[in-house]
Amino acid sequence: MDGSQLLSTQILNYVTIIYFVAMVCFVVYLAVRNETVALTAKVLIWVGFVAQTFALGYRWYESYQMPGGVGHAPLSNLYESVIFFAWTIILIYIALDLKYKQSAIGAFVIPFAFLAIAWAQLQLPSSISPLVPALQSNWLTYHVITCFLGYAAFAVACGVSIMYLIKARDEEKNKDDSSGIVGMFPSSKILDDINYKAIMIGFPLLTLGIVTGAAWANYAWGTYWSWDPKETWSLIVWFIYAAFLHARFTRGWAGKRAAWLSIIGFMATIFCYLGVNLVLSGLHSYGG
């Protein structure tokens, strides 16, 4: 079945546009410093998020409407996982915004969500396909949800780290000149703190993701760990963030080094998510 006919896919097209406009608003906000623009962006994010949540739920419903008992949670192929990834980034962003109320962050976090959803909508086949037997497991659902919430927290940490590096360089150069785009950034201290908090949220989620993945593997083929490239890369990502946390609270690695480690960690995360499927091969090859 052609996935572009599905109502959920069509809603997601609008969501993509909404996120794009919100992203542009955030960038414009940095330039013109008009709070109304920032508010518009945030309202759009909320609208997009509600619409995307509905679309995800509706796609789930649609899968049960298809002939042949195909129904399943919309987390089973690359398209669905990328859409879900965008959703989790927005979710974490909204939580962050409610807590910190720093509008400038949107300009560095929303692009990740936009790129993900745009890629899915433009490039990936959106049809609902039946699940092969190995993927019919509740553990898989828990696994995907926890992993992607973790990934999204790392994406936020990465976006904030990029802001940190820009802000820190600016602060070094001209001490209290708060003009220009960088002037709208939160202080480097706040950015550093958000980076740490986001990783602190992402790390237990990734841990849960790895554990539920191991549980699934154990139910499906009797080995909770087989060193396949996907598993190994998730462990690498886990090691990197563990190193980040330890370097931070016992060796005082904050600021620039922490920001770089966070960016490296997210690059490893993206490789674990996409690179392994595109470059390496293994059990997890989503969708083919």
Partner 1 sequence: MEKQKKRFEDRIWDFFVSLKLGITTLILLSITSIVGTLLKQGQSKGEYVQENFARMFPDGFPPKMTQLDYDKLREGFESTYRFFDSMYFFDMYHSWWFLGLLGLFAMNLICCSINRLPRVLKIVREPELKPEEKFYKTLANRDELIVTGSIAEVETKVAGFVASEFAKPQRTEEGDKVHLFAQKAPYARFGVYATHLSILIILAGAMIGIKFGYKGFVWIAEGSSISQVSSREGRGMIPLEFTVQCDKFELEYYEGSRMPKEYRSDLVVFENGKEILKKRIVVNDPLTYKGITFYQSSYRPIGGGVHRLLVTPRDGAAFEVEAKEGAPVSLPNGGSFAVGAYNDNLRNFGPGITMHVNSPDGKRGNPFPVYKYHPGADAQIRKGAFAFDLIDSDLEYATGLQVAKDPGVEVVWVGCTLMIIGTMVAFFLSHRRIWVTLVPDGGKVKVLYGGNAHRNQPGFALYFDEFKSKIKKYLS
Spatial separation of the C-alpha atoms in residues 249 and 114, rounded to whole Å: 33
Q: Judged by CB under 6 A, does residue 66 bind ligand HEM?
A: no
**Closest residue by beta carbon to ligand HEM:** 242
Choose one: 2-10, 24-32, 162-170, 197-205; the region binding partner 1 (CB under 8 A): 197-205
Q: Which of 203, 229, 76, 217 is nearest to 147 (CA)?
A: 203
**Is residue 276 involved in binding partner 1 (CB under 8 A)?**
yes
The interface partner of residue 69, options being ligand HEM, partner 1, none and the CB cut-off 5 to 8 Å by kind, is: partner 1
Residue 64 binds to ligand HEM (criterion: CB under 6 A): no
- 139 and 13 in contact (C-beta within 8 Å)? no
Q: Which of residues 212-271 bind ligand HEM (CB under 6 A)?
A: 239, 242, 245-246, 249-250
Cβ closer to ligand HEM: 179 or 250?
A: 250
Cα separation, 160 vs 148, in Å, equals: 18
Cβ(160)–Cβ(201) under 8 Å? no
3-state helix, strand, coil split of the chain in percent (to 5) is 80, 0, 20
Q: Is 159:186 a contact under the CB 8 Å cutoff? A: no
Token output for 43: 């309202």
Q: Does 288 bind partner 1 (CB under 8 A)?
A: no
Q: Using CB under 8 A, pick the residue from 57, 225, 252, 287 that binds partner 1.
A: 225
What residues line the site for partner 1 (CB under 8 A)? 67-70, 129-130, 132-134, 136-137, 139, 200, 203-204, 207-208, 211, 214-216, 218-225, 227, 229, 232-233, 235-236, 239-240, 242-243, 246-247, 250-251, 276, 280
